[in-house]
């Protein structure tokens, strides 16, 4: 199985909206707040670019991202659903998309920044808090960002988002001190189902990106689209 991914900064956005479908332009027009409009636009652009790259489609307006009833994004080409799972995340002036043809996938972007002890106590499990404390201070903020990001990615795989208690999702970062600009493995266990998801993390400047999928024994790392 191959998982494709793409990350774009806001500077990559075109000025016009010709790359949006007619329906998407209507949705954009209905968004009142500038921040929400810019985030939505950037998220749609990276998802369309990723899908175009993976399918060979030459025009982005042929690609549509339509939310399902549970809010998760579903991809369409020329009005027909395609057999791929996608996940979109945006943070600051960046957006990412992950695509998996044979499995559910979730991705999440987070900024590496200082978070309070209360945040960790409220949303992390006992084992996660202990792992964060064991991490040297130079990498601790990143470890917290990675743990939170992987939780969000796993909840996207389940298509439930933050409607589920994040302490029911336990993340294990295999090497929180890794410094190479590469993808590194992680694992997520979801309760009460006791489902184990495989995942990976990657750092891009001040951002960390996690990708999680529901395929057992997945060993391949995400591939740049």
pLDDT in tens, 149-196: 999 999 999 988 767 789 999 999 999 999 877 899 999 999 887 889
Roughly what angle, to the nearest 10 degrees, separates helices 126-134 and 137-157? Answer: 150
The fourth-level CATH superfamily of domain 4-103 is 4'-phosphopantetheinyl transferase domain (3.90.470.20)
Evaluate whether 47 touches 130 at the Cβ level (below 8 Å): no
- Model confidence at 131, in pLDDT bands (50, 70, 90)? very high
Q: Which residues lie closer than 8 Å to 33 by C-beta, 6 or more apart?
A: none
| CATH 3.90.470.20 residue ranges for the chain | 4-103, 106-224
Q: Is the pTM of this model over 0.85?
A: yes
Q: Which of 38, 166, 61 has the alpha carbon at shortest distance from 108?
A: 166
Evaluate whether 150 touches 186 at the Cβ level (below 8 Å): yes
Taking CA 113 as the corner, what is the angle to CA 109 and CA 115, rounded to the nearest 5 degrees?
Answer: 105
How many alpha carbons lie under 13 Å from residue 78 in its C-beta half-sphere? 4
Which DSSP category does 76 fall into? E
| CATH number for the domain running over 106-224 | 3.90.470.20
């Amino acid at each position: 199985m191959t998982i494709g991914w793409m990350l774009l900064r806001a500077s990559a956005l075109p000025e016009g909206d010709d790359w949006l479908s007619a329906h998407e332009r209507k949705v954009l027009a209905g968004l009142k707040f500038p921040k929400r409009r810019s985030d939505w636009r950037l998220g749609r652009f990276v998802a369309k670019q990723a899908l175009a790259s993976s399918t060979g489609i030459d025009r982005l307006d042929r690609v549509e991202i339509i939310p399902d009833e549970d809010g998760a994004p579903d991809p369409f080409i020329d009005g027909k659903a395609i057999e791929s799972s996608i996940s979109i995340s945006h943070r600051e002036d960046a957006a990412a998309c992950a695509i998996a043809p044979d499995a559910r996938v979730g991705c999440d972007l987070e900024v590496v920044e200082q978070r309070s002890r209360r945040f960790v106590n409220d949303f992390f499990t006992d084992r996660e808090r202990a792992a964060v404390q064991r991490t040297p201070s130079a990498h601790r903020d990143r470890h917290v960002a990675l743990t939170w990001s992987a939780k969000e990615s796993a909840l996207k795989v389940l298509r439930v988002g933050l409607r589920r208690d994040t302490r029911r999702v336990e993340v294990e970062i295999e090497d929180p001190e890794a410094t190479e600009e590469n993808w590194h493995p992680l694992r997520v266990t979801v309760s009460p189902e006791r489902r184990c998801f495989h995942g990976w993390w990657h750092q891009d400047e001040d951002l960390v990106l996690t990708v999680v999928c529901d395929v057992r024994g997945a060993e391949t790392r995400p591939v740049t689209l």
